[in-house]
Amino acid sequence: MRPRGEIRAALSAAALAMSPVAEARGITYLELAVTAQVGFELARTTVKDMVKAGELVPVGDRQVPGIKRPLRTYTVRQAANDASAAIPLDRALRGWVTNF
């Protein structure tokens, strides 16, 4: 697997730092770009990729002063090692179908 790029690592760190705000009202890509100190266009495309990868989850839209259309807001996805997200081994093995 390829290592993370600098932009994605900075945006990911900014999203984790802003997670209390994200839980309350969601964060926009503009807020992430300002916090991570990266360009707005790079942040916009990288946030789209982060959503596809499942790192960020869209939660709604919010009107931002100075922008005509509402911007999508995101929150940080729960950690993959969370116990509630784990599948018990017996359920995973029962779901594994083999053809003989």
d(CA 52, CA 41): 17
Taking domain 6-85, whether its CATH number is 1.10.10.10 is answered by yes
C-alpha separations of 88 from 36, 67, 83, 91 in Å: 37, 47, 10, 6
**Contact, 32 vs 56, CB < 8 A?**
no
Q: What is the mean pLDDT of residues 22-32?
A: 89
| Predicted model pTM | 0.72
Q: What is the overall mean pLDDT for the chain?
A: 84
Of 88 and 98, the one with more pLDDT: 88
Strands (DSSP E) along the chain, which ranges? 56-62, 71-76
- pLDDT over 80 (residue 14): yes
- pLDDT tens string 31-65: 999 999 999 999 999 999 999 998 999 999 999 99
